[in-house]
Amino acid sequence: MAREAICKYLDHQTACRILIEGDGRTMPYHFAPEVLRAFQKIAGRFEEVYETLATRDGGG
């Protein structure tokens, strides 16, 4: 089975919320606190990179 068929796509904001707040399966305490803090500081940059690449590649 193709990976796309079994993996649920999450938008950037949803993925960030899950990492920062948890969703019952993934919880913030699963990550080292300093790693989670660093992620929170630069989370917006990930979305900027995605948007740049999606625009350049015609996808999105």
What is the residue range of 48's domain?
A: 8-57
pLDDT of residue 56: 81
Predicted confidence (pLDDT) at residue 31 exceeds the cutoff of 80: yes
- Taking the C-alpha atoms of residue 1 and residue 53, their distance in angstroms, rounded to an integer, is 27
- Taking the C-alpha atoms of residue 24 and residue 19, their distance in angstroms, rounded to an integer, is 11
Domain count, the chain: 1
For tokens 């350049």, name the residue.
56
Q: Determine which of 2-6, 35-39, 49-53 has the lowest per-residue pLDDT on average.
A: 2-6
Per-residue pLDDT reduced to its tens digit, 38-59? 999 999 898 888 888 878 866 5
**Burial 32-56, CB ≥16 within 10 A → b, else e:** eeeeeeeeeeeeeeeeeeeeeeeee
pLDDT of residue 22: 94
Q: Is 2 contained in some domain? A: no
pTM: 0.64
Q: Is 13 contained in some domain? A: yes
Q: Is 3 contained in some domain? A: no
